[in-house]
Amino acid sequence: MAGYDYVVIGGGSAGCTLAARLSEDPAATVCLLEAGGANKDMLVRMPAGVGSLIKSKNKHNWGFWTEPEPHLDNRRLWWPRGKGLGGSSAINGMIYMRGHPQDYDEWRQTGLAGWSWDDVLPYFRRLEGHHRGESGGLHGTNGPLTVSGGENDSPFHDALIAAGEQAGYPVTSDFNGAVMEGFGRYDLTIANGQRWSTAEAYLRPVQARPNLTVITGARTTRIVVEGGRAVAVEYIVGNKPARVEVAGEALLCAGAVQSPQILQLSGIGDPARLKDAGVRAIHDLPGVGENLQDHLDIIMHWRCHGLTTAYSATKGLRQLKVGLEYMLRGTGYGRQQFLESGAFVCSRPGLVRPDVQIHAVLAIMKDHGKQQVKQDGFSFHLCQLRPESRGRVTVASADPLADPLIFANYLSQQEDIRVMRECVKIGRDVAAQAALDPYRDDELSPGGDVRSDAEIDAWVRRTAETIYHPVGTCKMGTDGDRMAVVDARLKVRGLEGLRVVDASVMPTLVGSNTNAPTIMIAEKAADMIRERAMAPA
């Protein structure tokens, strides 16, 4: 068999986007391999289903755990990652954020030509079908990814924004607009009350193309490299091994955890680490799996009254009512994920861009929703946007079905613990403002017994968790960067016919949710791969 022009490994946020864009060319043949399923069931479609998707290992969620984290009381942290078409865009909180322009300008300043804000903005515009309109050229209106405003009419959101203003912070009308900093309402990847993953936005409308083959339930085990070129991809369907030939390029889109794992299983990485795992090294690339970055998150809780929260909307038989109403009519609380407002603020004076993000949730969220809390309340998720700590992802063994070892190395740098400490102080300050007086009751967590810096630090180490934004494990870099895995055109260094296209290529973590930037990377990569002219800056 001659093979496919493009073999896309992983049907997530980047993979679905890439498969759809590359198959626009009728002369090109595209094969998409996805380890999970189609992700068509109601739990995925219904925005309110996010809590069930995130909290447990299931057919939609790989459900990874980190290694013991030494600076978080040696706890193993739960790491949900999306499985099935749409990947993490099929299980995430549906927040649409692009990051701060300076995040991308910094990429360009390290020598990565074509990755400045002016370079990437046209690709964000290309992917967006934005409810705000063009907004002076900052948004797109005809893209496949519907970006909507929230539907929740709770007075909590306006009260939160007013509380932020009373605490001395700005207010912004559009986090993705001219001014990111401040309190405001989030844009959402929800279309007419339905989660709009990349599977819905990009893949399903074009899946019948004769030049596009989508294989689900296909767990990639190895990229076959011969003579310095990727020539095939091996995978398992059920218990049966299979292989697809690569006539042009293999495009690895398995995410920040599994892209480095697949490279390592293929013998591409640090020879010493591969030897320890029992894998024969074929290509020395020491940066594979290194440079792991993630947003560490604390969750503060308050009881409340006078508000319809996720608990009061779904308690008892109301949960059945919510599901039936959504299934039969597409209406009701099932259309909402109870997270529509928040903020981007600075932890100290003198910063040129926010380093703290707040997600305000109309629910008391504990341990990723694993613990059910049967009372009304609201939560502030506060995360540090630009951590200095770096971790790694490493294969545990030569077994391609074994989970990789994830060592995030959170809070290994002093600046990171300082920012997390300030997050608690910021959250308390905002919650104490008069605008929230009609609704706020007592603080449940951290609670009144956590006051001093030492007590706050101990609470952070005891309770902090991921907010699901890992990146950087196959970083882009210039020729002089020995730890770079791919170049500015996302080609794996020293090999032909192989690129990585997903969040793992980010050299540094953007200061926001990471789904939209991942889709942007895939949109830009499609032009690179097809050797089309780049969208004008």
What's the rounded Cα separation, in Å, for the pair 50 and 52? 5
State the alpha helices, DSSP H only, in 56-149.
101-109, 117-127
Identify the CA nearest to 263 among candidates 241, 242, 279, 239: 279
Angle at CA of residue 424, ends 379 and 92, nearest 5°? 40
What secondary structure letter does DSSP report for 462?
H
**Strands 4-9 and 240-252, bridge-based pairing:** parallel
CA–CA gap between residue 84 and residue 249 (Å, rounded): 22
Contact at 8 Å (CB) between 362 and 312?
Answer: no
Query: Which pair of tokens denotes residue 303?
Result: 């009881």
| CB-based contact 422:451 (threshold 8 Å) | no
Q: Which residues contact 365 (CB under 8 A, 6 or more apart)?
A: 51, 299, 301, 373, 379, 381
- 3-class DSSP assignment, residue 31: strand
Q: Which residues are catalytic?
A: 469
Amino acid at 225: V
Non-local CB neighbours of 210 within 8 Å, separated by 6+ positions: none
Residue-wise burial string across 390-422, b where 16 or more C-beta atoms lie within 10 A, e elsewhere: bbbbbbeeeebeebbbbbbbbbbeeebbebbbb
CB atoms within 10 A of CB 222: 19
| Angle, in degrees to the nearest 10, between helices 117-127 and 101-109 | 130
List, as one string, the DSSP characters of 298-322.
EEEEEEESSS--HHHHHTTTHHHHH
Task: Enter the tokens of residue 57.
Answer: 């290992």
For residues 303 and 436, give the distance between their C-alpha atoms in angstroms, rounded to a whole number.
Answer: 12
Q: Say what angle helices 515-529 and 13-22 make with each other, to 10 degrees.
A: 30
According to DSSP, the β-strands at 229-237 and 240-252 are antiparallel
Strands 145-147 and 128-130: parallel
| The amino acid at 382 | L
